[in-house]
Amino acid sequence: MQTELIWIDREHMSLHIHKMEQAGKILRGGGLVAFPTETVYGLGADALNEEAARKIYEAKGRPSDNPLIVHIADPEALDGIVESVPEKAAALAAAFWPGPLTMIFHKKECVPYGTTGGLSTVAVRMPSDEIARELIRQGGGYVAAPSANVSGRPSPTTAQHVYEDMAGRIPMILDGGPVPIGLESTIVDLTGERPVILRPGYITLDMVRSVTGEVEVDQGLIAEDSSVRPKAPGMKYRHYAPKADLQIVEGPMEQVISYINEQCAAPGKTGVICTEETREHYHAGDVKCIGSRRDELSIASHLFAILREFDEDQVDRIYSESFDTPGIGQAVMNRLLKAAGHRKIDVS
């Protein structure tokens, strides 16, 4: 299959309406289209068409028990696919939609189990990206879209990343440039008495709490004990695994730097993930600067691209500083720990 990569200028969407219509037609015909969102690139299919959803699993090599998030373009679309909208969900939607927040509801019958991985609940998000929303409208209003990477690889933050993984597997990729956030959406389950965070993201625990009051965090996310199963089926898989062994190094910065410099002296090719503030202190290895500690979002938005670069550079092992900041740092560390298979060392 030939994969068409189409540039869409978001400032002048009307110039590309013909291409957007073409993309919508592919979706309505049961095909796949990759597209930008503010979090990461998504791989879209008609969420109400079981056969189309199946194609997503096939293209990604995704385990079939890992449910898909359904994307909508307008808040009114929510009622079409969920049994009811609890008050707290309506408040969260008013506060954070369109945006990087996914909510779990009881599904209506029209949502096939092929989309929800066999669950009677459905995850829904209304993205803010204008290309995404136009595509969703053109595609029939309900677009199931996981991240557009091959399962197990870092999520794509540019159309080029999507092309690397999906060329030959899907007919079309819409290129809207690099995404602004770079980590997947925050997932909040609203089917129980209290909201529960199933996956951390740009919308932090405090932001959710400021709208809903009491919030819980899924034990499967925070427990050191890996026998505690996360409630979001996808969170149990080791995602974002770079080809090299990755280890996170924690402790006072001076000790972290000296430990990593020592490791770089060992034979083999070593990768280092550091920040603008520490860059000058590393003298060996394949050193990549992820962003600035003064700008948390810069760290989030570069993480996946850096993991992909290390794959290209064919390093043997990677050492990363820790980025445990109070805001989006929680989501960054969740992804980094998964990429590291939870290997971290404290050098204090």
Residues that bind Mg ion (CB under 5 A): 146-147
Closest CB to ligand AMP among 16 and 335? 335
Size of the site for ligand AMP (CB under 6 A): 20
Binding flag, residue 195, ligand AMP (CB under 6 A): no
Closest CB to Mg ion among 138 and 155? 155
Binding flag, residue 56, ligand AMP (CB under 6 A): no
The number of residues making up the chain comes to 348
Q: Which partner in ligand AMP, Mg ion, none is near 133 (CB below 5 to 8 A by kind)? A: none
Query: 148 vs 39, 244, 247, 309, CA distance in Å?
Result: 12, 22, 26, 17
Closest CB to Mg ion among 68 and 93? 68
Rounded CA-CA distance 139/112 in Å is 17
Closest CB to ligand AMP among 104 and 172? 104
Cβ at position 199, least distance to Mg ion in Å? 10
Q: Which partner in Mg ion, ligand AMP, none is near 235 (CB below 5 to 8 A by kind)? A: ligand AMP
Binding flag, residue 32, ligand AMP (CB under 6 A): no
Vertex 71 angle, CA 69 and 73, to 5°: 165
Which of 121, 158, 270, 334 forms a contact with ligand AMP (CB under 6 A)? 121
Q: Among 63-71, 82-90, 130-138, 311-319, which window interacts with ligand AMP (CB under 6 A)?
A: 63-71
Could you tell me which residues are beta bridge partners of residue 273?
Answer: 288, 320
Is residue 106 within a helix (H) or strand (E), and if so which, with residue range? strand 101-106
Binding flag, residue 203, ligand AMP (CB under 6 A): no
Q: Among 64-72, 130-138, 218-226, 280-288, which window interacts with ligand AMP (CB under 6 A)?
A: 64-72
- 3-state SS, one letter per residue, for 15-80: HHHHHHHHHHHHHHCCCCEEECCCCCCEEEEECCCHHHHHHHHHHHCCCCCCCCEEECCCHHHHHH
Binding flag, residue 67, ligand AMP (CB under 6 A): yes
| DSSP 8-state assignment for residue 254 | H
Cα dihedral 285→272→306→149 (10° resolution): 100
Q: Within 10 A of 74 (CB to CB), how many other CB atoms are there?
A: 13
Binding flag, residue 146, ligand AMP (CB under 6 A): yes
Q: Which residues bind ligand AMP (CB under 6 A)?
A: 66-67, 69, 104, 116, 119, 121-123, 146-147, 184, 187, 198-199, 231-235
